[in-house]
Amino acid sequence: MNRRPFDPRLLRRVPAARRDLAVLAVLGGLTALLVVAQATALATLLATALDGRLHRPALAGFVLAVAARALVSWAQGTVAARAAATVKATLRADLLRAVGRHGPTWVAGQRAGQLATLTGRGLDALDPYFTGYLPQLVLSVTVPLAVLARIVLADWSSALIIALTIPLIPVFGALLGWQAQAATERQWRRLSLLGGHFLDMVAGLPTLRAFGRARAQVDVVRRMADGHRQATMKTLRIAFLSALVLELVATLSVALVAVPVGIRLLSGGITLSTALLVLLLTPEAYLPLRAAGSRFHASMEGLTALDEALTLSATPAAAAPAGTPQPAPDGHGEIRFEGVTVEYERTTALRDVTLTIRPGERVAVIGPSGAGKSTLLNLLLGFVTPTAGRVTVDGVDLAGVDLDAWRRQLAWVPQRAHLFAGSLADNIRLGASDAPDPALARAVRDAALDEVVAALPDGLATVLGERGHGLSSGQRQRVALARAFLRDAPLVLLDEPTARLDTASEAIVLAATRRLVAGRTALLVAHRPALLEDADRILRVEDGRVTELTPAPAGKGS
Q: What is the DSSP letter of 543?
A: T
Q: Where are the domains of the chain?
A: 9-180+250-312, 335-550
More confident residue, 211 or 6: 6
For residues 95 and 315, give the distance between their C-alpha atoms in angstroms, rounded to a whole number.
Answer: 10
C-alpha dihedral, 63 to 65 to 70 to 74, nearest 10°: 150
Amino acid identity at 256:
L
- Rounded to whole angstroms, the Cα distance separating 372 from 266 reads 88
Q: What percent of the chain has pLDDT over 90?
A: 9
Between CA 414 and CA 520 the distance in angstroms is: 17
Pairwise CA distance, residues 191 & 300, whole Å: 14
Residue 547 pLDDT grade (very low, low, confident, very high; cuts 50, 70, 90): confident
Looking at domain 335-550, its CATH architecture is 3-Layer(aba) Sandwich (3.40)
Alpha helices in 204-298 (DSSP H): 205-210, 214-266, 272-298
- Classify domain 9-180+250-312 at the CATH topology level: ABC transporter transmembrane region fold (1.20.1560)
Res 554: pLDDT? 41
- Residues 491 and 379: their CA atoms lie apart, in Å, by 14
Bridge partners of residue 410, in order along the sequence: 491
Contact 552, 364 (CB under 8 A): no
Say how far apart CA 178 and CA 544 lie, in whole Å: 46
- Beta-sheet pairing, 537-542 with 362-366: parallel
CA–CA dist 539, 355 (Å, integer) = 10
Residue 51's contacts (CB-CB under 8 Å, 6 or more residues apart) are none
Q: Which residue has the higher pLDDT, 65 or 232?
A: 65
Got the DSSP string for 91-154?
HHHHHHHHHHHH-HHHHSTHHHHHHHHIIIIIHHTHHHIIIIIHHHHHHHHHHHHHHHHHHHHH
Predicted local distance difference test score (pLDDT) of residue 75 = 94
Instruction: Tell me the per-residue pLDDT of 404-436, one tens digit each, with 9 for 90 and over.
Output: 888 888 888 888 788 888 888 888 888 787 888
Q: How many CB atoms lie within 10 A of CB 16?
A: 12
Lowest mean pLDDT among 151-165, 212-226, 503-517: 212-226
φ, ψ for residue 329 (rounded to 5)? -70, 165
Poorest-pLDDT segment among 156-170, 307-321, 331-345, 397-411: 307-321
Name the amino acid, one letter, at 440.
Answer: L
- Under the banding of pLDDT at 50, 70 and 90, the label for residue 311 is confident
Region 226-249: mean pLDDT is 72
The whole-number average pLDDT for the span 205-217 is 67
Whole-number pLDDT of residue 96: 84
Q: How far apart are CA 413 and CA 553, in angstroms?
A: 26
Q: Looking at the predicted structure, is the pLDDT value of residue 205 above 80?
A: no
Q: Phi/psi of residue 279, each to 5°?
A: -70, -30
- Tell me the one-letter amino acid at 213: R
* Full DSSP string of 370-427: TSSHHHHHHHHHTSS--SEEEEEETTEEGGGB-HHHHHTTEEEE-SS----SEEHHHH
**Position with higher pLDDT, 321 vs 435:** 435
Query: What percentage of the chain has pLDDT greater than the value 70?
Result: 84
Contact assessment for residue 143 and residue 38, using Cβ atoms and an 8 Å cutoff: no
**Can you give the pLDDT at residue 318?**
54
Average pLDDT over residues 470-493: 85
How high is the pLDDT of residue 72?
94
Sign (positive or negative) of CA dihedral 223, 228, 231, 237? negative
pLDDT category at 146 given cuts 50, 70, 90 is: very high
pTM: 0.65
Given this model, what pLDDT does residue 473 score?
79
Q: What are phi and psi of 549, to 5 degrees?
A: -95, -30
Helix (H) or strand (E) holding 355: strand 348-357
Helix/strand/coil for 514:
helix
State the chain's maximal CA–CA distance in angstroms.
Answer: 115
Is residue 552 within 8 A of residue 531, CB to CB? The reply is no
Q: Indicate if the pLDDT at residue 30 is higher than 90.
A: yes
Q: For the CA atoms of the chain, what is the radius of gyration? A: 33
Residues β-bridged to residue 423 = 463
Q: Smallest Cα–Cα separation from 232: which of 187, 182, 294, 178?
A: 187
226: left (phi over 0), alpha (psi -120 to 50) or beta: alpha
Is residue 74 scored above 90 in pLDDT?
yes
Count other Cβ atoms within 10 Å, centred on residue 291. Answer: 18
Q: Which residue has the higher pLDDT, 234 or 27?
A: 27
